[in-house]
Amino acid sequence: MNNQTIETIRAHGSCRRYRDDPVPDEYIETIVDAGQRSSTSSNLQAYSVVAVTDATRRKTLGSLCGEQEHVFTAPVFLAWCADLSRLDAVCATQGMEQSSSYVENFLVAAMDAAIAAQNAAIAAESLGLGICYIGAIRNNPREVITLLGLPRLVFPVTGMTIGWPLTKPRVRPRIGRKAILHRETYDSDQDEELFAYDRIMQDTGIYSGRQILSSGQAVQDDGYGWLKHSARRVAEPTRAFLRDVLKEQGFLLQ
Ligand SMILES: Cc1cc2nc3c(=O)[nH]c(=O)nc-3n(C[C@H](O)[C@H](O)[C@H](O)COP(=O)(O)O)c2cc1C
């Protein structure tokens, strides 16, 4: 089946090369409005987004997000934030106090932010813009929090670059549906799909020159595909400091 919306979704590829042209404010507002149309837990709308277009601030963000070239070159950076701060204010109007100290509270806010971000991403792509999520916003969260002036109970979940694509981003193959779509109960028998996907990804050449460093040395490996790349990616702890930062921001995760 197909229609224009599904066509837009199917054409997605993360965009990492942008033209210099600015993105008019009207576009940013339309994109964020589309994000706001997303479903949101209990209509709490427990998220905010900080749009950064100022060149100096974008440059600092680029440095804080692992020196990724596309963060420097994209004219717009959206910082999607879990936000329970607004609900503190809501409770204050009612002479009440928010209970925000549980994992559930952070999960609700983080999901709201992610769902809104993805609706916004589709809206941006439907307008001919390119986007790339930037999880590296969590590389130096304390500095990002200071740079963006995020108050207590606001945490940057993901960044997103937006701009006019210099070249059409490639569409990456995905794991076969059989490993993702389970019928009635979960089926752990997924090896066939995973190995088939590994071969498909090797053939795309996406990983050539992108081997993850192992013990400080570049891995030269002809059989390097999605399996090795992903295993190496998840074998090491990532951003193990995040629980501390979340606590500092008021998310106690009890
Ligand atoms: C939450 C999240 C964080 C991401 N962080 C980064 C990032 O920091 N830098 C980057 O270049 N791509 C980032 N990506 C993009 C993924 O690498 C990309 O979506 C994935 O490889 C699949 O490729 P595709 O989006 O082109 O289909 C991120 C994606 C998501 C969903």
Q: What is the DSSP letter of 214?
A: B
Q: Which two tokens stand for residue 103?
A: 């994992």
Q: Which helix (H) or strand (E) segment is 81 a member of?
A: strand 76-83
The phi and psi torsions of 158 (rounded to 5 degrees) equal -150, 150
pLDDT, residue 218, reads 62
State the Cα–Cα distance between residues 106 and 250, nearest whole angstrom: 10
pTM: 0.96
Tell me if 76 sits within 8 A of 162, measured CB to CB.
Answer: yes
Q: Which residue owns the Cα nearest ligand 1 atom 20? A: 14
pLDDT per position as a tens digit, 126-184: 999 999 999 999 999 999 999 999 999 999 999 999 999 999 999 999 999 999 999 99
Separation of 192 CA from ligand 1 center, angstroms? Answer: 25
Ligand 1 pocket test target in 18, 69, 122, 132 with most atoms within 8 Å of CB: 132
Contact 139, 62 (CB under 8 A): no
Tell me, using a 6 A CB cutoff, whether residue 151 lines ligand 1.
no
- Taking only Cα atoms into account, the Rg of the chain, rounded to an integer number of angstroms, comes to 20
Instruction: Give the C-alpha separation, 74 to 211, whole Å.
Output: 25
